[in-house]
Amino acid sequence: MSMKNKFNKVLSGFSSEEKVFLYNFLYEDLSGKGVCGDTELAHVNKHEVAVLRSMGGAGTINENTKCVQFFGSPPPPPPVTTTSAQTREIPKEIAPYVKEVLSEAQDIYKTRKKKDMFLILVKK
């Protein structure tokens, strides 16, 4: 009788609660047998396997558990934080241009004001 048939015979007498207990027991035992920092067991589909490999995961067989392992993937980098300070001053390099643009805008405003060229919005 094969090992699979022996286990099926034994497990067929277990309740769902007993199977979950056994699963959790085996999970704790097997998760401690990972190498290179692997500490978790997971269900993954083919796409997720490809993602793990593309991130540098090994995708080899663990000698202790005979499960596929993906050690080698570096942890994600910490989030980048930036600090910015706002000032009221215009940078010296662009100050002349800003003054020129504002001066031109004021001239246009004054010209339109004299000619009564403002668009008036009326709420209906």
Name which residue leads in pLDDT, 119 or 63: 63
Specify if 26 maps to a domain. Answer: yes
Specify if 86 maps to a domain. Answer: no
**pLDDT value at residue 117:** 61
- Tell me the residue range of the domain where 64 lies: 14-69
Specify if 105 maps to a domain. Answer: no
DSSP string, 81-113: -------SSPPTTTHHHHHHHHHHHHHHHHHHH
Number of separate domains in the chain: 1
Specify if 60 maps to a domain. Answer: yes
What number is the average pLDDT over the span 97-115? 85
Specify if 84 maps to a domain. Answer: no
Specify if 80 maps to a domain. Answer: no
pLDDT at residue 73 is higher than 60 = no
Specify if 2 maps to a domain. Answer: no
Specify if 47 maps to a domain. Answer: yes
3-state secondary structure of 60: strand
- CA-closest candidate to residue 66, choices 41, 36, 84, 91: 41
**What is the model's pTM?**
0.45
- CA-closest candidate to residue 30, choices 60, 2, 69: 69
